[in-house]
A and B are shown apart, each in its own frame.
Chain A
Amino acid sequence: MQRSSTRWYVAGAIAVAATLALSACGSGFSGGSPTSSNGALTSSSKPLTVLIGSSGPAETAAVNSQVAAWSKSSGTGAKVIAASDLNQQLAQGFAAKKPADVFYLSTDALAGYAKNGSLLAYGDQLTNKSDFYPSLVKSFTYNGQFYCAPKDFSTLQLIINTDMWQAAGLTSADYPTTWAQLETVSKKLTDANHVGLSISGEYARIGAFMTQAGGNLMNADSTKATANTAANVSALTEVKTLLNGGSLKYAKDVGAGWGGEAFGKGLAAMTIEGNWITGAMTTDYPNVKYKVVSLPKGPAGAGTLQFTNCWGIAADSPNQAAALKLVEQLTSASDQLAFSKAFGPMPSIKSAASEWKTANPGLVPFLDAASYAQGVPTADGSAAVVTDLNAKLATLGTGDPKTILDATQKNLQALLK
């Protein structure tokens, strides 16, 4: 192959030329369509696509029926797609410039998509804007702009297996209201067959302890890293104590995928989960009797984490005006209560609260937390930091809380540069 070097050169040149030709023809990508973040929404007769990350058939059916109802009344076509991997499908849709018009968007994905211009910041144009809980609005505010309407929300509370509770000789007077009481009851509830308390070993559960101690990983706007504060150290120390005492075990360590499974299978007498656990309890573990109570207060009082998704609208949607109308409908009290009935989420608007509480008397502690619950970090890249933190929390039993949080602090600060 002596002569082949020149041939290679030619082949390479052809390849480069082909690349250029390909990029020039660019049917899939049309450069620079205007992002109408301030002002006029695009409008056309095109039907809407709604991409959802569904928790199951019940959720898919409920969204389908509400969207279909809206479609009928508005005359705009709309199709619901249940994603198998929402993040990946969204990313590919944006890159292809063929995104779904309306989609579920998580708090940790907001910043990344807002930054690269994929999202329409329509929050201020919502007619029901003032009805959303302020802390939820904050979760979907990036660079001072309210991007998208909170779809619903959940908070963490303490779930108790009432049979085990009684078997351990405990009464309703013993529901823990302090960390010390939590330690006591979980010790009492631990026996050879089950552990007192089992939770998923991740920030999304352990973070509740941080808020009870008066801390959290970042401030409410996710503009400042506050990971290694004394409050957070004391929270992790408390969890570590529980772990080493044997009355708290991570769900994975008892052979369950998440806290709800450990709880439902009777591997744990208590767990810390959100209101989504009710769905699993009804379908998978209908025989387990349980009660939801507020999480114990920490040194700084009541605290818990809240989780929420919003209805994102794509900047590249050809029919943003209709999309906005659809979102307003889907976040209305009637639609949110219908969703709640179908698969259990809590309405993101204040005006639906009392009706929801009446309909779900056993779940009131979840909604009551709306006034004090805190969101998870939303800064761009924070999801990776939390993943890294979760990795370290998996070995919290042998780790040093301060060291763990120092590393997280460093990583969070790097995001804000």
Chain B
Amino acid sequence: MSTLTSRSRRSGFRRGEAASGWLFTAPTIVIIGLFVVIPVFMALWVSFSDWGGRGSPFASTVNFVGAKNYSTLLAGGGLDEQNFGTALRNNAWYVVLVVPIQTAVSLILAILVNRAILRGRGFFRTAFYFPSVTSSVAITVLWLFLFGTTGAVNKVLSWVGIHGPNWFNDPNGVLHNILSVVGVKTGPAVLTGNTFLGVSWWDWLAGPSVAMSAFILMAIFTTSGTFMLLFVAALQNLGGDVTEAAMMDGANGWQRFWRVTLPQLRPTMFTVLTLGLIGCWQVFDQIYTGTQGAPGNTTLTPAYLSYTAAFSNQNWGQGAAIAFILFVIIVVFTIFQRWVLRDRAVSKRRMRLYRVPPADPRIAAASAAAASDSTEKTSGGAS
């Protein structure tokens, strides 16, 4: 066929395309618009209102109260501020520990199962990945049993002569525990006397409570499989020879791993870190199912606090405000992550220009898949 006819046919086809395009995307636009975009605006209004949870938030009896809900949380000086500060503290420790550890564990697992000489790697991959497919509710139930006072973990610990902690009932901060071993039982006055968000600096530095540590272990257990697969895909994309050589040659290989393999994994690493950060700030399911914030509010998280403020305590404005502050925190972290990444992304792109092998589409899709999966895992939230 001639160019001319082809073009005219195609442009005729184009005209219909616009309508089809909108038609095809309409369900997505409507559903996401209704259940994501509009809710965000509604919640924004609620967070600036005194709506008490009865009837419509747009009723004439509902008043605009300015930033009152936010100021109560951030500078109110009362219990609300203290609880919010505590929730932030708990979740911050969760993030600080889960993100690096799960990244390291998943990378190590990926390197181990990616060995070409390995027989049965399908089995190992399945074993490591399986915890990721189970629901956070089911895993939490299992964890409550394993980490019970007389549960499996403490039983195993007792075999090696360790008297295990009272996991989910132990509100003591891990760092405080360590410090008390070396004799530091109370903090210096400068730390105990001054507070931030209603929580003293000494308590900010308490570390995660023993109860929260059990949740931290759970997060690592359930997410490392997903991220391992991302690393595996990336490793395979590097070309086996490099990894293989780097891994097989002892100390020299170790150096080559640091200098050759790791830099090449950087994009995946950043993906994993970003996904981890976003997911870890949204811990909800585990707390709802497991501890409801106990013991001593040390497993309270902003997400759960937002839920209880609204649904149990009729403080809907405050609940919405907590959600938005959490939103801001997540956005700030994401932007920060992006800013760190910008430099690398460019060099990576340049690298791709000069190097022949195209990236594996599996990595892209797998990261998108992991995105929906891992946020769900780490946070238990919806996708």
Which residues of A are in contact with B by a Cβ distance under 8 Å?
15-16, 18-19, 22-23, 26, 28-32, 87-88, 91-92, 94-95, 97, 112-113, 115-118, 252-255, 316, 381, 383-385, 387-388, 390-392, 394-395, 411, 414
Contact = CB atoms under 8 A, between A and B. Distances in A.
Interface string B35-79: 001100110000000001111101111000000000000000011
B83 interface: yes
B41 A88 contact: no
Nearest to A112: B314
Interface stretch (B128-136, B305-313, B365-373): B305-313
A61 B296 CA distance: 36
B53 A91 contact: yes
A64 to B, nearest CB: 26
Contacts of B55: 29-31, 95, 97
Please indicate which of the listed interface residues A15, A26, A115, A391 has the most CB atoms of chain B within 10 Å of its own CB: A391
B166 A88 contact: no
A244 B55 CA distance: 51
A118 B54 contact: yes
Contacts of B240: none
Contact of B58 (A23, A115, A394): A23
B78 A15 contact: no
B149 A252 contact: yes
A359 B207 CA distance: 54
Interface residues on B, range: 35 or more
Given A95-B55, A388-B82, A395 B296 contact: yes
B33 interface: yes
Contact of B297 (A32, A383, A385, A388): A388
Contact of B53 (A18, A95, A388): A95
A97 B171 contact: no
Nearest to B37: A15
A26 B58 contact: yes
A91 B310 contact: yes
Contacts of B337: none
In the complex, the 9 A-B pairs of residues with the closest C-beta atoms, listed nearest first: A29-B56, A116-B52, A391-B296, A255-B149, A252-B169, A23-B58, A112-B314, A31-B59, A414-B78
B295 A87 contact: no
B83 A388 contact: yes
B172 interface: yes
A3 to B, nearest CB: 18
B187 interface: no
A414 B76 CA distance: 10
Contact of A392 (B59, B149, B296, B311): B296
Given A255-B149, A381-B313, 13 more contacts: A18-B37, A26-B56, A31-B61, A32-B59, A87-B311, A116-B314, A117-B54, A255-B166, A316-B54, A384-B83, A387-B293, A390-B296, A394-B169
B311 A253 contact: no
Given A31-B55, A92-B311, A394-B171, A16 B296 contact: no
A62 B329 CA distance: 49
Given A91-B310, A394-B296, A32 B53 contact: no
30 contacts: A15-B38, A15-B41, A19-B41, A23-B56, A29-B55, A29-B58, A31-B55, A32-B60, A92-B311, A95-B53, A97-B55, A115-B52, A115-B314, A118-B54, A252-B149, A252-B169, A253-B166, A255-B149, A255-B150, A255-B166, A316-B54, A381-B79, A383-B313, A391-B171, A391-B296, A391-B297, A394-B171, A395-B171, A411-B79, A414-B78
A253 B169 contact: yes
A185 to B, nearest CB: 25
A391 B169 contact: no
Interface in B308-324: 310-314, 316
Contacts of B149: 252-255
Given A32-B60, A391-B297, A94 B53 contact: yes
